[in-house]
Amino acid sequence: MENKKVLLGMSGGVDSSVSALLLKEQGYEVIGTTLELYAGSSCCNQNTYLDAKNVCNQIGIPHITYNCKDIFKTHVIDNFINTYANCQTPNPCIECNKYLKFGFMYEKAQELGCNYIATGHYAKTEYHTQYQKWVLKQSNAGKKDQSYVLWNLPKHIIEHVLFPLSDFPNKEEIRQIARNHNLKVANKPDSEDICFIPDGNYKKFLETNSNLTPTKGNIVTKQGKILGTHTGLYHYTIGQRKGLGISNPVPLFVLGFNPNKNEVIVGEENELYQKEITVSDINLLLVDNLPNWTEVSVKTRYSSKKAKASIKQEQNNIKVIFEEPQRAITPGQSAVFYIEDIVLGGGKIMK
């Protein structure tokens, strides 16, 4: 008889709450869990725990909390700080998914005798006959699809991951299910910001939680011409136009950094486009390696559209050549590779 016991990550929001309802209706034995990640964050406060616990009580499932603050600090906060310190732009959700929601939580699921873990992400897992394995796919949620932030999950657990919201095209349907079941979280707003920086001021967070301090330097062109001064390298990101404090006949954008000289490099918009990138820290979900050139679609930001490209593995990195040059590709962000709607894998953009 199939083990239908599942550990569900619950943030106190409407997505994970409705996921609990749907799983229970589908005959799963559901245990809700809330991970304590960072005191005062938008997904880790007293209201979060209470909302999750109340939903569990209302639909008749147990609820457990785990203190994960040390793991979160090591793998998410410290990574966030180090990435900015190295003039790159991090995506903390991807680290959290790897180490917390699909790392720690899967370990706890096994301890509890659960065959599955589940979250309220908009993504999909299914067995694919062509590849003869379980695959991670895009959901039916269009722009809200979250497969981009899941490329780094351990591939051996894909067959043990459930995404109950995979077939819903929009959030309003989710909210309506919550209203129909009289869940108090039905109209709870989405949290859009980085959870541990609820006020959105990442510069202040970095300066409060690390030894990063704003050190002024020059804003220069690629040719080294000084155009003005900046307030600290981590205050800027590639593609940024506003807030540079320089005047020029044509608009200028941040192209990159020279940490050795403490310089922000700027240029015109056409200089933001590039056709080739290198990706490191790779995680391939569909295959074990990519010795030959493979045609894929690539997303270089959560909100970006897929772009056609060819990729090939070179030792521990992947080389990506786009059909059309792409704008403002940012080191530290993720490049995620798709074959149609299946996630082939991904990695961190180096350059």
Residues near 103 by beta carbon (within 8 Å), at least 6 away in sequence: 154
| CA distances (Å), origin 160, targets 107, 116, 135, 157, 341 | 12, 5, 11, 5, 20
Buried-exposed string 245-277: b where 16+ CB fall within 10 A, e elsewhere: eeeeeeebbbbbbeeeeebbbbbeeeebeeeeb
Q: Which amino acid is at 213?
A: T
Strand partners, 327: 273
Catalytic residue among 43, 56, 87, 96: 96
Question: Is there a contact between 237 and 330 (Cβ–Cβ < 8 Å)?
Answer: yes
By the 8 A CB rule, do 102 and 153 touch? yes
Kindly list the distances between the CA atom of residue 297 and the CA atoms of 83, 205, 320, in Å, as whole numbers in the listed order. Answer: 26, 35, 10
- The one catalytic residue in 43, 44, 68, 195 is 195
| 299 exposure class (CB count in 10 Å sphere: 0-12, 13-18, 19+) | buried
Backbone Cα Rg of the chain: 22
Q: Which two tokens stand for residue 217?
A: 């330097």
Asked whether the beta carbons of 231 and 215 are under 8 A apart, the reply is no
Active-site residue flag, 96: yes
Task: Give burial (CB, 10 Å; 0-12/13-18/19+) of 348.
Answer: buried
Name every residue whose Cβ is closer than 8 Å to that of residue 247 and which is 6 or more positions away in sequence. none
> What are the DSSP calls for 302-327, one per residue?
TTSPPEEEEEEEETTEEEEEEEEEEE
Please say if 195 is a catalytic residue.
Answer: yes
Active site residues: 96, 195
